[in-house]
Amino acid sequence: MDTEPLIFILGQAFGIFALICTVISMQLKEKKPLMVLQTASEAFVVAQYLVKGAITGSLLAIVSFVRDLIFTKHHKHRTPLWVLLVIYAIMTVFTIISWTGPLSVLPYVGSLIYAWSLWYGKVKWIRLGNAVGNSPYLIYTLLTDNYALFIMTLLEVISSAIGFIRLEVLNNKKKKSKKKK
């Protein structure tokens, strides 16, 4: 029995579930529910990368999943800096271990950027970090033939930007115009 079509379908389904969680999360105002959905999304991303055999992506996604669990636990206050540094060190080691060439740098850099925004903890920076940190993943997902994950990542960047504009920029303008009245 040829399992290749099943693996393809399964990988794409995991990507779609991750997409749903992520797009919804970037439109939420509060940090804890945003982080819970981000954690669920990372679990689906781990599954998709594993199914597709993208080792660097899957190892970093596992670290990201654990990172999200930790940062969700500390949703009311900033996680200690040493935790971020340990996460960075683990990401670095996993990238070195799974090195397959320059392409491996892309998920590494994206993960570092997003980890910082989660550690910083303000929802607006999480949205911005998501958009910026996912940009290298766009290239990585295309080059590893993860089309559903590419679409998810693109929609995640778009959703992050929309959430940032809608909840940060436009809300700040409304608040400023109310103060002037």
From residue 107, alpha-carbon distances to 4, 26, 94 in Å are: 25, 20, 11
pLDDT at 1 exceeding the cut of 70 = no
Q: In terms of residue numbers, what domain contains 127?
A: 4-180
Q: Give CA–CA dist 41/14, Å, rounded.
A: 9
**Predicted TM-score of the model (pTM):** 0.76
pLDDT at 110 exceeding the cut of 70 = yes
Domain count, the chain: 1
pLDDT band at 83 (very low <50, low <70, confident <90, very high): very high
